[in-house]
Amino acid sequence: MLEGLDPEQREVATSLHGPVCVLAGAGTGKTRAITHRIAYGVRAGILQPSSVLAVTFTNRAAGEMRGRLRQLGAQGVQARTFHSAALRQLQYFWPKAIGGSMPRLVDRKIQLVADAAAALGTRLDRNELRDVTAEIEWSKVTQTVPGDYPYAAAKAGREAPRDPAEIAHLYAAYEDLKRDRAVIDFEDVLLLTVAILQDRHDIAEQVRAQYQHFVVDEYQDVSPLQQRLLDLWLGDRDNLCVVGDASQTIYSFTGATPDHLLDFRVRHPGATVVKLVRDYRSSPQIVRLANGLLAQARGRAADHRLELVSQRPSGPEPVHTEYTDEPAEAEGAARRIRELIDVGVPAAEIAVLFRTNSQSETYEQALADAGVPYQLRGAERFFDRPEVRKAGIALRGAARFGGNDSLLDEAVDLPSQVRAVLSGEGWTSEPPAGSGAVRERWESLAALVNLAHDLAAARPGVTLADFVAELDERANAQHAPTVQGVTLASLHAAKGLEWDVVFLVGVAEGMLPITYARTDEQIEEERRLLYVGVTRARERLHLSWALSRSPGGRPNRRPSRFLDGLRPGTTPTVGRTGAGAGAGVERGTPASAALAPRRTQRTPARCRVCGRTLTDAGEMKLMRCADCPSDMDEGLYERLREWRAVQAERSGQPDFCVFTDRTLMAIAETCPESPAELARIPGVLNRKLRSYGADVLAICAGQEPGGDDSGD
């Protein structure tokens, strides 16, 4: 199991106890290291497969992890996204925690946002609608309620697409509309799971009994809400392995922050830290450019940058090309791609990466004109495309009744059967000319044909029914097949992928960094975005920019400042000095480990009336047996319930997310007079004490609540 791992990867694989932080540079084999870690633990009998939960951020990455674990003999390990794992738990525990049926989950919230805007009489164009939706998503993952949005957005330096107060109203209307329609969104899945695990200790303990060991990939991308969920999964344990690279933090606009990764040793002083810097993906020339980009970086992430060391043979130097205008740039890239394909480079091993999706159209047309097949990444999800759904129905019917289908009479194996069925759906052996919808439909069907070839090669004797089952499994995991064409993708969508040849286009001021990146933090994230693009390339890298947008336009653009000192004939801008961190292992010393918070043994909870040991979560919250006499102030309890209803309406959350009935009963029974007394009541966590403490104490004292606090 450990053969073929380098010394640092081996350290990751064998460090199975206590907190472990893996700082993994681009292309350093982090997925290999963590899957071998899990498989080694399982094969050695140290880890039970069903007790391991590995979480990452995309369905594709989770699917890849599951596949690798199966190959390594570690079946039964749960590898999921945060949302998938939370949704599974929410569906299971909803009847016990809430009762009744779980609300319907909406997979796209943009229509709900549009309806909320219409209800307020607010007109939003397409771009504003998308941007307001993004602000709502950011608010929820950072646990910001509607009333707090203007302050939180200003503090985070966000460029609001509308007046912040107006967005707060839209956000509140959106939450009201969801409640009226009895639906929840993806962020609610995390929020509700967190709420249940916080307030129902019995359910939290059941989850913790199931999962004993956690692995988190892409840890630099966790949001505050995801970190809160992870903390609740862990409880008071520390069997946690996190993997990430602060230099690849490119999703801060969604609420992601590298602080959890960078502060890991602060929170876990006894942690083992392993640094992976041996780059097995890119040539030395590409790695040199990537290291040069980060050498000029500033800020906290730059303080923890990793100096990559290529393990591949030498390759060609990166090519820098200047064009007069954007159409000329696209035509130049398409011409070079055509030449590469003609000399044997597979189209699927070439990518064109750009900063914004609006840049893709020019390259789609240029590639179509050059007769180059392509696929758009980050567009509509593959299995949601109408042509793919229709193809699935046709294939399922053929699998059931193929004996009566004349189309299949001469089909002798799986690929020929799939080609025969899909020919009735519009697939042809040659792609249609030009670009647009017809070409996109053909590319979708061609991906299914190619998947059939791959499956037949991997599993001789595979049947059409097996192929349909494979499609169903992939659809559930959103694990799309590979299209045999050049990939067109934004830099954000390219994260986690790699190609032999990468064309980075539009590397000009105003695009990289983008015009609206103004603060130092925003500029540095743009630099990291370019770094991610550079490190997608294995062998060849082309960087280009245009002096004007359109033919005949003023040539007033200049190459990106990030290339200063890296492209021929330029000098570097002033940046950081000194090399980044090299490979190595850092272990928490006994001295630093002693600083870690001590895990205290929980004393058994006892009834404050009869003294019996309590085991039921509800009784523990009341601190008395259910049948022991209650001295609850009924009037106080009703006032607390009325106050809770107001808070829940303001925050757009269910009542129990403020306080459960049991917690309100406990408050009404003890009638706390100080924050310390209130904090001793089970269910009153520090976060809720900060948000609601003043109001609750005022109500207990017979006063009107004076704050305007709302929940988070």
Nearest-CA neighbor of 25 among 531, 575, 539, 567? 531
DSSP 201-259: HHHHHHHHHH--EEEESSGGG--HHHHHHHHHHHTT---EEEEE-GGG---GGGT--TH
Q: Indicate the Cα dihedral angle 639, 642, 646, 647, nearest 10°.
A: 60
d(CA 554, CA 255): 38
Half-sphere exposure of 59 (CA within 13 A, CB side): 14
d(CA 113, CA 447): 34
Q: Where are the domains of the chain?
A: 7-93+192-276, 104-181, 310-380+484-563, 382-477, 632-701
Backbone angles phi, psi at 34, to 5 degrees: -75, -30
CB 471 within 8 A of CB 392: yes
d(CA 304, CA 23): 9
d(CA 388, CA 468): 12
d(CA 333, CA 487): 13
What whole-number percentage of the chain has pLDDT above 70? 87
DSSP 621-648: HHTS-TTSPP---HHHHHHHHHHHHHHH
Lowest mean pLDDT of 153-162, 300-309, 550-559, 612-621, name the range.
612-621
End-to-end CA distance of the chain: 45
Classify residue 311 by its DSSP letter.
Answer: -
Looking at per-residue pLDDT, the higher value among 336 and 671 belongs to 336
Q: Which residue type sits at 101?
A: S
Residue 276 has pLDDT above 90, yes or no: yes
User: Do β-strands 584-586 and 272-276 pair in parallel, antiparallel, or remain unpaired?
Assistant: antiparallel
Looking at per-residue pLDDT, the higher value among 677 and 498 belongs to 498
User: Do β-strands 319-325 and 309-310 pair in parallel, antiparallel, or remain unpaired?
Assistant: unpaired
> 310-380+484-563 maps to which CATH number?
3.40.50.300
Other CB atoms within 10 A of residue 688 CB: 21
Ligand-binding site membership of 29 (annotated): yes
CB 387 within 8 A of CB 441: yes
User: What band does 601 get if pLDDT is binned at 50, 70 and 90?
Assistant: very low
CB 283 within 8 A of CB 27: no
Over residues 183-194, mean pLDDT: 91
Over residues 403-431, mean pLDDT: 77
Residue 89 has pLDDT above 70, yes or no: yes
Copy the structure tokens of residue 349.
């091993």
User: Do β-strands 272-276 and 278-279 pair in parallel, antiparallel, or remain unpaired?
Assistant: unpaired
pLDDT, position 336: 96
Ligand-binding site membership of 275 (annotated): no
CB under 8 Å to 168, separation ≥6 — which residues?
Answer: 146, 147, 149, 150
Q: Indicate the Cα dihedral angle 643, 649, 650, 655, nearest 10°.
A: 60
Residue 64 has pLDDT above 90, yes or no: no
pLDDT in tens, 509-526: 988 888 878 788 889 989
Nearest-CA neighbor of 106 among 181, 177, 185? 185
d(CA 322, CA 284): 24
Give me the residue label for tokens 């590298």. 258
Ligand-binding site membership of 25 (annotated): yes
Ligand-binding site membership of 249 (annotated): no
Ligand-binding site membership of 24 (annotated): yes
Nearest-CA neighbor of 65 among 53, 47, 48, 50? 53
Residue 699 has pLDDT above 80, yes or no: yes
Ligand-binding site membership of 495 (annotated): no
Over residues 311-318, mean pLDDT: 93
Copy the structure tokens of residue 427.
């697939």
Residue 710 has pLDDT above 50, yes or no: no
Judge whether 7-93+192-276 and 632-701 match in fold.
Answer: no
Question: CATH for 632-701, among 3.40.50.720, 1.10.150.80, 3.40.50.300, 3.90.1150.10?
Answer: 1.10.150.80
Ligand-binding site membership of 28 (annotated): yes
Question: CATH for 7-93+192-276, among 3.40.50.300, 3.55.40.20, 3.30.9.10, 1.20.120.1200?
Answer: 3.40.50.300
β-strand partners of 243:
22
Ligand-binding site membership of 31 (annotated): yes
d(CA 535, CA 512): 16
Ranges 26-30, 255-259, 685-689, most confident: 26-30
Over residues 590-613, mean pLDDT: 47
User: What band does 578 get if pLDDT is binned at 50, 70 and 90?
Assistant: very low
Average pLDDT taken over every residue of the chain: 83
